[in-house]
Structure formats: structure tokens, C-alpha cells
């Protein structure tokens, strides 16, 4: 697998895995997971026209994801580090940091 120089961890492609993200305020988005690594996920937002609800730097919470992804999920919180139309990069972050918990979201 060719590695992009910006990547610090190997990516693992997944077949048709879906997850639900919680945004600030409790809204949720259904996403397809393109690939996963120890540091984050590449996700495609499946809700037509809702990609604009997510911005660079937003903190999101994974609230549901397939069990086979559990070994790859370091924490249920992540920050959006890139966006390209309906696809985004989510880098895992520690939930203990106060800035990492979306307003209105329950603590894990």
C-alpha cells in the first residue's frame, strides 16, 4: 500500500462499514467508513446536502460503529482535519480535554 507523506499511520480499507457521528447540539450524521488507522478515519457523509454542517476543526463523536472496527477505534471523539465535498478526515483525540467534548453531548 502506497503511503502519503502526510500520514503517520498505515490505513486499513474497510468494506461497507457505517457509523453514526454526533455533531455539536446532538444532531447525527450517517457516514460510510472509507478506511481506518490507529490515528483516525476517512468518512463519507451519506446525508445528501448535509456536508455543510461539518467544518474544519469541529469535534465529533462516534456514537455507533460496527464491532469489527472496535480494535481500530482509539477513542470515540475526533476532530475534522480535512474536508473534500462529502468526504472528511477525522483524527482521534482524547475526550478528557475540555475543548474536545461537543456542547450538549453526554460525556463518554
> 10 Å Cβ neighbour count for 40?
25
State the Cα–Cα distance between residues 26 and 34, nearest whole angstrom.
Answer: 24
- pLDDT score at 11: 62
Inform me whether the pLDDT recorded for 30 exceeds 90: yes
Which residue has better confidence, 69 or 95? 69
**Residue 60 contacts residue 80 (beta carbons within 8 Å):** yes
Model confidence at 16, pLDDT cuts 50, 70, 90, reads: low
Give the pTM.
0.73
Residue-range domains of the chain with CATH: 15-96 (2.40.10.220)
pLDDT tens string 39-84: 888 999 998 888 889 999 999 999 988 777 777 776 889 999 999 9
Inform me whether the pLDDT recorded for 100 exceeds 70: no
Amino acid at each position: 500500500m502506497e503511503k502519503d507523506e502526510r500520514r503517520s499511520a498505515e490505513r486499513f480499507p474497510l468494506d461497507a462499514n457505517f457509523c453514526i457521528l454526533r455533531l455539536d447540539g446532538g444532531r447525527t450524521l450517517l457516514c460510510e467508513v472509507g478506511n481506518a488507522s490507529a490515528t483516525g478515519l476517512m468518512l463519507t457523509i451519506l446525508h445528501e446536502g448535509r456536508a455543510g454542517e461539518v467544518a474544519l476543526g469541529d469535534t465529533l463523536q462516534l456514537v455507533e460503529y460496527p464491532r469489527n472496527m472496535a480494535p481500530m477505534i482509539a477513542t470515540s471523539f475526533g476532530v475534522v482535519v480535512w474536508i473534500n465535498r462529502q468526504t472528511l478526515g477525522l483524527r482521534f483525540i482524547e475526550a478528557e480535554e475540555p475543548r474536545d467534548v461537543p456542547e450538549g453531548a453526554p460525556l463518554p
